[in-house]
Structure 1
Amino acid sequence: MSQETVVSEEVKAEVLAYADPIADNLMQGFNEGNYTIYSRDFSAEMRQGLDEAAFEQNREHVTSRIGLYESRRDPVVTETGEYIAVTYKGEFEQEDGVALRFVFRKGDESHRLYGLWFNSPKLRS
């Protein structure tokens, strides 16, 4: 396993230029329960692994524990091997500080999502 390292401010700005709008779109789709919007930026692998049925199940799990998404802040951009990740602190109706992690593949000009995780104490309980 390669070490996860925080990227330079210059790289961070480049990554956030595409990651922020993707995160906005995905979380809008999440709140609306709209899989088409939610999955718009998924890679083919992500679309296979997280189909509409899985989305509905995951969304129910998240909303039943922490409510709907409200906002995000404090992005940290890291890289590991061929992947680059953006982790935000997300605020939901019933919990703040939820880790929202979006993973992209380096050099992918289409900026497709290869990984997505929501993590918090309430979600793990």
Structure 2
Amino acid sequence: MARSTMEVAFLGTQKLAFNQNGTDVKIVKVFYGDEPDGITENGLSIVSMDVPADVADEVFASGAQFAPLETVRITFEVARAGKQKGNNLAVHIEAVNPKGQAAKPAAPQGSQQQPKPTGTQPDAAKA
């Protein structure tokens, strides 16, 4: 299987659990936003991706830490499907800018104020 990542707007994770013909079934999906095509969708295209059973609980739980529309990085595997198609399966979600590690713009040189020495210079004249 091939593995890849993408950065997208997070919409949510969803877990469905039900019994089908005596068999317990659990399905987990990741929903994310993509660029609309402008023909059939406007605003945001809503896309879902299945999650494999072996990481379903972990991926579902990780969705609780993201704000709606927060940019996340989804790691996914491309499983072979029929007729030269692939099936994308989300295996991990992480924040692009983790909380507390947001990128801070660098201050331009010379723009930082130096503390004013006390008692050495008179205050500027007030108009």
Identify the TM-score tier after normalising by the shorter chain.
Answer: 0.3 to 0.5
Structure 2 length as normaliser, TM-score? 0.32
Between Structure 1 and Structure 2, whose CA radius of gyration is higher?
A: 2
Point out the structure with the larger strand share. Answer: 2
Structure 1 length as normaliser, TM-score? 0.33
